[in-house]
Each structure stands twice: as structure tokens, then as C-alpha cells.
Amino acid sequence: MKKLFSCLCLALTLLVPALLQAEKNSDIKPVLGKTGEPTAVDSFDKPRLSKQWAAAKGEWKVEDGVLTGKELKADKHAAVMTWKLPHRNSTIRCSFQLKDADFFHLSLNHPKGHLFRVILDESGMILRTDRNKKDPKSKPITLAQAKRTLEPGKWYTLQVEMQGDKVVAQLDNGLKVEGQHPSLDIDKTGYRFIMKGNTLLLDDMTAWKQE
């Protein structure tokens, strides 16, 4: 009987990750600190974007209550949209659907250049620092990587926490990456959404500042 009970417990433990359901606007438990009242929220319920949003490349517009991003071949560059919310320590949560996008990056800059990014594609998630373009010897550093198939037509919730020199990124399907690097403890200019391909869908934006 004890052996049967042990086997049953093991089976249930192995099933837990498979039972996690990805969906829009999931509640994900923070790791680095508690979140209080949000400092900014956008659910794209208006036809035009607020002044907090700025498109640098690609085509971005609100369609059917979600933000749709498309790469433009004429740009010869991935599509880039910025949510202009300066911060140092913060948490951001959003819903995304790759649809027919090749990849989606949530990228963070500091006032003088690129800093780090969370990379998402059909194979999973990567946390990586960016190369300092002003330093020829600088190279990007992969801090963490998690593999699991992300379905193109399915909604997922992404949450990224930044506290000092630490970053934790989680998806509501159980994927998680975390890393630490001295360069991350710096003021950040906002949140950049980068995509390559035909269509990326974004929704349910919420940001919190952490002291």
C-alpha cells in the first residue's frame, strides 16, 4: 500500500507542470518582491494609443482591443514599440500571442544604450544581456534559458521582475528564467517590445515600481 501511495504521489508531481494552463492576463506570483498598486495599466480598450507609447519601427495599431505589431520589410529592421515608463526596479506583466511572429523580445535600455532582454519564440525563453555597442570587446551574455514549445496561436502571460542586479521572468505555463549581473542595477528608460515576422498580439499591460 505504501509503495502504491508513493507511486501515485510521484505521478501527480510529474503531472503538475502539464496541468498549468497558459492564457491571457494570468496572475503570476512575484519572486523578488510584492506588487502593490500598479503605476500603469493599458488594456487597449481605446482605438488610439496613449502618449506613453512610441513606435520606432514596424506597424503598430490597436485592433479588436489588442495591440498588433507587424514587421515592415522597408524598415530592414525588426518592429519596435516602446512603453515610455522610466524606472529602476519594477515588475511588468503582459499577455502575448506569437501568432505568426518569428520571435518576441521584451527589451530594456538604460539612458546610454541597450541593457538586457527576454527572448521568446516557439522553442521557449532566454534571458540575455545586450552587447555594449560602444565597446568592441563587449558580447551578449546568456544568463538563463528554458525550453518548452510555445504555440503560435495561443495566448500566454509574461511577467518580468527587476530588482537591483537581479531579473526573474516567468510564463504562466511554468517556464521561468532568472539571472544576476552587475550591469542590470541601473536606471531604465522604459519597456521595449520587439518582434520579427507578420503578426504579434499584445494585451493586458500592467507595470509596478519596486522600491
CATH of the domain at 77: 2.60.120.560
Phi and psi at residue 124, in whole multiples of 5°?
140, -145
Does 27 map to a domain?
yes
Residues of the chain under the 50 pLDDT cut: 2-19
Q: Report the first-to-last Cα separation within the chain, whole angstroms.
A: 52
Looking at residue 12, its pLDDT comes to: 39
pTM, rounded to two decimals: 0.88
Does 15 map to a domain?
no
SS3 content of the chain, % helix, strand, coil (to 5): 10, 45, 40
Does 3 map to a domain?
no
Domain count, the chain: 1
Looking at residue 5, its pLDDT comes to: 39
pLDDT, tens digit, 9 for 90 and up, residues 152-195:
999 999 999 999 999 999 999 999 999 999 999 999 999 999 99
Side chain identity at residue 4, one-letter code: L
Q: Domain limits at 131?
A: 23-209
- Dihedral of alpha carbons 32, 86, 55, 128, sign: negative
Looking at residue 145, its pLDDT comes to: 98
Looking at residue 21, its pLDDT comes to: 65
Residues in the chain: 211
Residues 203 and 68 sit within 8 Å (Cβ to Cβ): no
Looking at residue 2, its pLDDT comes to: 43
